[in-house]
């Protein structure tokens, strides 16, 4: 047997290609341009260290083990590299035992990037810089000058900027309130949020061009909104994807709605789809109304639901934004 080509000699290179092959085999990365981005952007440069949970006794605070690429122990270094190219999320910042930032699951990132439907020349705003990895994938596809990423935490933006530079990318990295967007860089053709939201901030559609796309996690799903103008003014509307999505919440947006489950059957409360509906309807339906709706409509999946974002008002709906099943979500604004 001959020797492997030099480009396969690097363990990180081999691990990255193995991850991409697995993602493609699972039905992801159908767009060759995104497949190339995942093949060529080195994820391990964006997670020089991360944390893995350590089992602890009941009632004890969460414990985390830190893995890092400069560990003197070769076995632990190998664990770090293997984990960096596993198709799963990675906890990258933990404070007082609480997860505050993470690197998203690569296959979920690929789905979100595909849903964004970017075109050549698009200007993209990313909300939630994280490690900088997602911004790097966008830069690979669109070029540095077309990508802006914003995060509230200066430590996160500083490290994201350093990771991006180490990988050869230099998008605009802003420290600021992601709920306010990036007005100085608007207008945008695409907005992608990598943090969970209770509602869509009003400033995002306002900073978009007509026909722009917004992809964001709301409740435990991913909603894909198209921005339009009509007689009502600027609005955004669209449906959820079928896949579940769990992200660290966008900081500065207040507490998520309290989901009450008392009196509901335990097996129903533990159902992922029903919990999605509970979170989505928390501003407009009580839990028993939500249960009745869910049972009456045949336990609908996420992709039957959608959101409409209007001027200072937004609502969720089942099947049709003008149909019988509509409820308010709320809005971001000065009174918040």
Q: What is the pLDDT of residues 260-289, one digit of tens each?
A: 666 688 888 889 999 999 889 887 888 889
> What is the topology classification, in CATH, of domain 6-244?
Rossmann fold (3.40.50)
* pLDDT one-digit tens code per residue, 148-179: 999 999 999 999 999 999 999 999 999 999 99
CB 307 within 8 A of CB 321: no
What six digits make up the tokens of 283?
Answer: 């501003």
CB 102 within 8 A of CB 130: yes
Catalytic annotation, pick one of 101, 103, 104, 107? 101
What six digits make up the tokens of 193?
Answer: 């949020």
DSSP bridge partners of 225:
214, 238
The structure's pTM equals 0.91
DSSP bridge partners of 8:
none
Burial class (CB within 10 angstroms; exposed 0-12, middle 13-18, buried 19+) of 317: buried
User: Above 50 in pLDDT, residue 335?
Assistant: no
Name which of 151, 293, 289, 275 is nearest 219 in CA terms: 275
Under the banding of pLDDT at 50, 70 and 90, the label for residue 252 is low
* pLDDT one-digit tens code per residue, 301-328: 999 999 999 877 899 999 999 999 999 9
* pLDDT one-digit tens code per residue, 89-126: 999 998 887 888 889 999 999 999 999 999 999 999 99
CB 55 within 8 A of CB 65: no
User: Above 50 in pLDDT, residue 226?
Assistant: yes
Alpha-carbon distances of 225 from 141, 163, 190, 233, rounded to whole Å: 21, 30, 10, 16
The pLDDT of residue 295: 93
Average pLDDT, the chain: 89
| E-strand stretches of the chain | 49-54, 63-68, 90-95, 98-103, 124-127, 147-151, 172-175, 188-193, 208-218, 221-230, 233-244, 305-310, 313-318, 326-328
Q: Per-residue pLDDT averaged across 128-157, rounded?
A: 97
Does residue 261 sit in helix, strand or coil? coil
* Residue 252 CB contacts under 8 Å (≥ 6 apart), including other chains: 152, 177, 178, 179
Name the residue ranges covered by the structural domains of the chain.
6-244, 266-328
Residue 101 is a catalytic residue: yes
* Residue 257 CB contacts under 8 Å (≥ 6 apart), including other chains: 198, 279, 282, 283
| E-strand stretches of 119-251 | 124-127, 147-151, 172-175, 188-193, 208-218, 221-230, 233-244
The pLDDT of residue 169: 98
* pLDDT one-digit tens code per residue, 5-59: 544 458 999 999 999 999 999 888 999 999 999 999 999 999 999 999 887 766 6
d(CA 113, CA 222): 12
Output b/e per residue, 69-98; b: 16+ Cβ within 10 A.
Answer: beeeeeeebeebbebbbbbebbbbbbeeee
d(CA 307, CA 225): 8
The pLDDT of residue 329: 84
- Residue 175 CB coordination number (10 Å): 16
CA dihedral 125, 127, 133, 137 (to 10 degrees): -30
119/330: higher pLDDT? 119
């Amino acid at each position: 047997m001959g020797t492997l080509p030099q480009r396969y000699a690097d363990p990180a290179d081999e691990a990255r290609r193995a991850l991409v092959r697995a993602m493609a085999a699972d039905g992801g990365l159908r767009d060759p341009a995104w497949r190339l981005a995942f093949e060529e952007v080195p994820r391990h440069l964006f997670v020089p260290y991360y944390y893995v949970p350590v089992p602890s006794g009941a009632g004890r605070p969460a414990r985390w083990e830190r893995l890092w690429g400069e560990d003197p122990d070769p076995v632990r270094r190998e664990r770090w590299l293997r984990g960096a190219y596993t198709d799963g999320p990675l906890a990258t910042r933990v404070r007082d035992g609480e997860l505050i930032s993470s690197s998203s699951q690569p296959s979920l990132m690929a789905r979100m990037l595909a849903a964004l439907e970017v075109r050549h020349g698009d200007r993209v705003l990313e909300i939630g810089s994280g490690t900088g990895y997602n911004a790097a994938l966008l830069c690979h596809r669109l070029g540095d000058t077309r990508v802006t990423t914003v995060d509230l935490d200066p430590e996160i933006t500083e490290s994201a900027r350093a990771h991006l530079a180490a990988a050869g990318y230099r998008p605009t990295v802003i420290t600021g309130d992601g709920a306010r967007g990036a007005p100085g860089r608007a207008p945008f053709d695409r907005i992608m949020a990598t943090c969970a939201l209770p509602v869509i901030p009003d400033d995002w559609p306002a900073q978009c061009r007509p026909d722009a796309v917004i992809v964001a996690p709301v409740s435990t799903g991913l909603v894909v909104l198209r921005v339009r103008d009509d007689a009502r003014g600027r609005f955004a509307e669209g449906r959820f994807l079928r896949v579940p999505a769990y992200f660290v919440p966008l900081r500065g947006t207040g507490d998520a709605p309290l989901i009450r489950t008392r009196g509901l059957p335990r097996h129903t409360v533990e159902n992922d789809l029903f919990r999605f509906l509970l979170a989505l309807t928390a501003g407009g339906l009580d839990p028993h109304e939500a249960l009745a709706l869910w049972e009456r409509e045949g336990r609908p999946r996420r992709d039957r639901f959608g959101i409409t974002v209007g001027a200072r008002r937004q609502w969720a709906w089942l099947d049709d934004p003008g149909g019988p099943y509509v409820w308010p979500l709320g809005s971001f604004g000065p009174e918040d």
